[in-house]
Structure 1
Amino acid sequence: MRGNKQIEKMMEKNYICVLAGIFICLSCSTRDKQSAREQHLDVLEKSHVVALSTAKMRTVDDELVLNGTVTCDESLLRKIFVPCTGKVTHLRVEIGDRVSAGQLLAVVHSEEAADYRKGLNEADAEIRLAQRDYRMQSDMHQSGMASDKDVAAARERVLVAKAERQRLQEVASINGYGRRSDAVLTSPISGYVIDKRIYNDSYVSDQTNDDPAIEIADLKRVWIIADVYESDIAKVHPQAAVRVTTMAYPGEVFLGRVDKVYSVLDSESKTMKVRICLDNPRGFLKPGMFASVQVRLSVSGRSLCAVPSSAVIFENGHDYVMVKQNPHEFRRREVKVVHTAGGYSYLAAGLLPDEKVVSKNALLYFNSRENE
């Protein structure tokens, strides 16, 4: 019996040692995981993969979101027409090509151009004949064989011939008629070809020459044309500040103001158009591109705790932010978003001013907390 009791005591001691060892291992494992997670968060923050923002009290701005389209600034748009009938050759541009001022676009072989060239040649011949007659009349006048009237008539003939030649030259220059029977189309400005309705070896007739052959736009400045529903017309005024975003460049925000309000409603859509003029130095905004226009309206007067909208994470019907508790700890906290405008989310509950939240790649912290 005594031997059995000794064996039981020895087994009890061994069991306690095993449990203690397991507890120590678990504790070390937990500390190791915590340390690894802290190091991971430090690396994210120091490498600028994530960024922090401080919650602040902000006056709530109201805004109106409109759908818009990028179009050309009409003051920087040139429409090029074919000045005559004829056959198109040497067409060297396509839609989307960049062209320089004076660049050759196409050549049109035309009977009308040939007629003007013939007229110029005839005018040159008439000038030579008139000048020769004038010299002859002047010589005869010195010999008493021609009157003053004859000399004046000869001089008038020279002036009329030169005037006709100048007229034909100006018409040829306006229409782009070259030295041969050609009409030469050149670009009047530097920009991009945004439309083209002629093709090589095609024939331009009087019936097909109503529309511009080529349209060129300088895209250093563009318009955003947005639609305002009838119920919102009273809210939009000229010079209202706007923020423009596009699907093509989701991280880019283009700032501007309402440049013009068109006081006419579309009879079908019952919307009124407004125009925003934006500088486009990098060429990001292209004609036809869809744009979202956020028009800043009157200030409501109340203030709420606000954070960048990028800091708010929507999950399962709730909004969360990742709040920095200490240098190595972030906690997920549910907040109540009551308004979003101008890149900020305004909160009614869940966060206090001066608390720091993750505002860039907050989902990285959010997921790391979920996986713990």
Structure 2
Amino acid sequence: MVVPPDSPQAAQLKIEPVRMREIAVDEVTAPGRVGIDPNRSSRLLLPVAGRIVAVLAKVGDAVEQGQRVLSLDSPDADAAIAAAIQAEAAERQAQSTLSKADADLARTTELYEHHAVAQKDMLGAQNDQAQARAALETARAALYQAKRKLELLELKPSGEPRPIVQVRAPISGKVLEVNVAPGEYRNDTGTPLMTIADLSRVWIASDVPESAIRLIRVGERVTITMVAYPGEEFEGRVARIADVLDPQTRTVKVYVEMANLRGRFRPEMFATIRHAGDSRPTPVVPVGAIVQEYGRPIVFLERAPGRFERREVVLGTRAGEFIPVVSGVRAGERIVVDGGVLLKDR
């Protein structure tokens, strides 16, 4: 087709040579979704059954590890204090019994040496001492166990009329879910009452096709784009690759870890991961140079000033503002990069 160089239409055509660029080979692109890093999430459970006195954190609050988030009035707390007091008394009694058994054995030994008592009395005193020592060890073990329970519940055997159990945040992070209210009585200590997650790092769960999973390895860097932030690119690291293939979708879950210090990435946001392999020089053309004709991509090649030829091309995966050309044009050939639609109907 011919377009006179001095015509108004020619003035609207922008012509440039096809360039060479380093383009990644075996690039993998897969959809994904932002999720919580399971290694940075915790579900809060009650240590004992009881009535909720106060909920000290609400959804969206930032909490620190060890911060009080629940207060609990529990009969188990009273029982734990009573058990500790009883264990202390039992330990003192066992100590006193052992002291008496030691004294009895010493006196019996002295009498036996002077032939004042029979051997069976000596053996009886030794047996009493052994039993007293064993009883003391048992009492000390029970006291340790009782004190350990008080320590876990953060209680002291001070005789308080109404001991309150304080439940603390196991990790630092944000409260994502609260499933309890003041006044409720909870006796199921296996049901989570609160979910806390550290969102300073998040995971992208992506479904990578079976045919491309061989190209991705744990520890490799990937590029991430997100629907919420068009035009921006982020970097992450492959943290885990699932061991099982989804038989329905023929994909493998790939988990990518990425920093989220500013809190921009929220769970359930849509994302796309891109993993590039080795790169090689490849002809590229601007996106605007491609014209669709009957469903096929074409470009307009300048054969001479004012003379153009349609050329069907095979394209690779778009890389920014450029598209790799697998076949159809070579580097250095001059094509219409803007205004090609004006030539489409000629």
- Which residue of structure 2 lines up, in the alignment, with residue 89 of structure 1? 53
Contact 2:226 2:271 in 1 (8 A): yes
Counterpart selection for 2:142 from 129, 144, 164: 164
Corresponding residue number in structure 1 for 2:206? 226
Instruction: Give the fraction of aligned pairs with identical amino acids, expressed as a percent.
Output: 28
Q: Distance in 2 between matches of 1:152 and 1:232?
A: 72
SS across alignment from 1:265: coil
CA displacement at 1:303 relative to structure 2:
1.6
- My pick for the range that moved more, 185-194 or 148-157, is 148-157
Note the C-alpha offset of 1:137. Answer: 3.5
Q: How far apart, in 2, do the equivalents of 1:273 and 1:56 lie?
A: 37
Deviation per CA, 1:27-61, whole angstroms, max 9, x where unpaired?
xxxxxxxxxxxxxxxxxxxxxxxxxxxx9631222
TM-score (norm 2): 0.66
Q: 1:80 aligns with which of 33, 44, 60?
A: 44
- Give the alignment's Cα RMSD to 1 decimal: 3.8
Q: Aligned pair in 2 of structure 1 residues 271, 201: CA closer, same or farther (>3 Å)? A: farther
Residues 154-173 of structure 1 deviation map (CA, whole Å, 9 limit, x = unaligned): 33322211111112233444
Q: Which amino acid aligns with 2:322?
A: S
Where in structure 2 are there 5+ consecutive unaligned residues?
A: 1-17, 112-121, 157-161, 298-312, 338-346
Change (3 A) 1:246 1:313: farther
Change (3 A) 1:268 1:82: farther
Quick check: 1:61 aligned with 2:27?
A: no
Q: Secondary structure at the residue paired with 1:303? A: strand
> Any conservation in 2 of the 1:67–1:226 contact (CA below 8 Å)?
yes
Question: What is the aligned residue count?
Answer: 277
**In the alignment, which of 341, 346, 360 is matched to residue 323 of structure 2?**
346
**Aligned partners of 2:317 and 2:324 also within 8 Å:** no
Distance in structure 2 (CA, Å) of the matches to 1:220 and 1:162: 45
Q: How does 1:211-290 map to 2 (within 5 A)?
A: 211-230=191-210, 232-233=212-213, 236-239=216-219, 241-290=221-270
Match of 1:198 in 2: 180
- CA distance in 1 between counterparts of 2:282 and 2:291 reads 26
8 Å CA contact 1:114, 1:182 repeated in 2: no
1 or 2 for the larger relative contact order (CA 8 Å, sep ≥6)? 2
Are the counterparts in 2 of residues 337 and 346 from structure 1 also a CA contact under 8 Å? no
SS of alignment partner, residue 95 of structure 1: coil
More helix by share: 1
Question: 8 Å contact 1:238–1:258 — kept in the other structure?
Answer: yes
Tell me, which stretches of 5 or more residues in structure 1 are unaligned?
1-54, 319-335, 358-372
Q: 3-state DSSP class of the match of 2:238?
A: strand
TM-score (norm 1): 0.62
Change (3 A) 1:107 1:269: farther
- Deviations 1:191-246, CA, capped at 9 Å, x for gaps: 2222332222222133xx44322222222322111123456555555455421122
Is the Cα contact below 8 Å between 2:227 and 2:271 reproduced in 1? yes
CA deviation map 1:236-268 (0-9, x unaligned) = 554554211223333542212433221323355
